[in-house]
Amino acid sequence: MQVADNDFMNRISDKNMDKVTPRFRIKKAVRMVLFVPFVLLALPAYAAMGSGQEISWFFLVVGLAGGLAFFLYGMEKMSDGMKSSTGDKMRAILAALTQNRVVGMIAGAFVTCVIQSSSATTVMLVSFVQAGLMSFANSLAVILGADIGTTITAQLIAFKLTDYALMMIAIGFGMQMLSKNENTKNIGNVILGFGILFFGMKLMSDAMKPLRTYPAFIQMLEGLETPLLGIMAGAVFTALVQSSSAFTGVVIVLAQQGLITLEAGIPMIFGANIGTCITAGIASIGMSREAKRVALGHVIFKIGGVLLFIFWIPKFADIIRLIADYFGSGTARQVANAHTIFNVTLALLFLPFTSFFGQLIILVI
């Protein structure tokens, strides 16, 4: 078994992995460059928002941008910590458990839950297929599972933990600075990232408070109840930041502030699910034909799922509310539940037909 594991790790050559990782290093560097000025500007904006002054559009925009920068940076820190402590194990799990479609879906969901990034899981799949460790057909079930796993982030965000953000930042930073154990430092990195994520949500939430009584903004959000507009807004924003979790967080903040209804939130969540496909597309650039098929499979699943749901959004919203009535949850939790139920339903619907979709994609590419 040990020999098999070593053979597995050796077959993922540095050459194959290097074709994927530079783009994501560039993306990370860009986020860091954008993050620094937003942090410097967001703190005075945050102070101004809480001081009872009249609405300042400059500080409002900077507060939103700075909060989003904190959110993205927190996601990056949390994902890095998870991958540092469990990355190799997650790779082994994916490669070993993908011969069966159901097991592959469960493995994809589990791995994505642990590393908190469906993008990372998708990039792993592209590299595995490129290296010949996994067939394209087997990767489709894992993609469906990864889409389920990424909804855990939305469920965590829906818990209103913003009041404890600074405490988590302090604990995570302390674990990183004071511990000499590498695993403890990685766990500290996860907690620190989690705290920064929620502090970013607090900044965005506080920045949006003045908009609750601004008629033009309320009217604009009401327009997003039109499914096509909501889907387009979610897809474009998610494609720009390359994180469906970031846009889901923004939608949840809007729901917590009472600025959007569930009927407006659902199309935006659908759009975020389409926009997140851009990551797999970027990862497949310059890769083999099989790797490009993985990216196309992700796109087909998402667009196909949205087309199945788009015509009965009001009924879907009623089902989500019915479920929420048993738990007394508000709109923010309902948005997170809609995200989860959408992806679980897609996985259950498409899983029996992965062979058919595989043949279809092979015809296209």
pLDDT on residue 269? 92
Whole-number percent of the chain with pLDDT over 90 = 13
pLDDT on residue 73? 85
Alpha helices in 97-181 (DSSP H): 101-115, 118-131, 136-149, 151-158, 165-178
Count up the domains in the chain and report the number.
1
User: What mean pLDDT is predicted for residues 272-280?
Assistant: 82
pLDDT digits (tens, 9 = 90+) for 201-231: 788 878 777 776 677 777 777 667 788 888 9
Which of 135, 126, 131 lies closest to 13 in space, CA to CA?
131
Name the band, by pLDDT with cuts 50, 70 and 90, for residue 341: very high
Q: How far apart are CA 135 and CA 243, in angstroms?
A: 26
pLDDT on residue 55? 67
pLDDT on residue 86? 63
Whole-number percent of the chain with pLDDT over 70 = 77
Please say if the pLDDT value at position 82 is more than 60.
yes
pLDDT on residue 364? 86
Name the band, by pLDDT with cuts 50, 70 and 90, for residue 85: low
Cβ-count burial 119-132 (b if 16+ within 10 Å, e if not) = bbbbbbbbbbbbbe
pLDDT on residue 9? 42
**What is the value of pTM for the model shown?**
0.71
pLDDT on residue 159? 77
Backbone angles phi, psi at 61, to 5 degrees: -65, -45
Q: Domain range spanning residue 26?
A: 2-364
Alpha helices in the chain (DSSP H): 2-11, 14-18, 21-49, 57-96, 101-115, 118-131, 136-149, 151-158, 165-178, 182-208, 215-223, 227-241, 244-256, 262-275, 277-283, 289-309, 313-325, 331-350, 354-364
Highest mean pLDDT among 93-97, 244-248, 285-289, 302-306: 302-306
pLDDT on residue 343? 92
pLDDT digits (tens, 9 = 90+) for 17-35: 444 444 444 454 444 444 4
Averaged pLDDT score across all residues of the chain: 76
pLDDT on residue 256? 82
User: What mean pLDDT is predicted for residues 109-115?
Assistant: 80
Top-confidence residue, 234 or 201: 234
Quick one: tokens of 90? 């997650």
pLDDT digits (tens, 9 = 90+) for 133-181: 777 777 888 889 988 988 888 888 787 777 788 899 999 999 988 888 8
| Residue written as token pair 């986020």 | 31
pLDDT on residue 127? 72
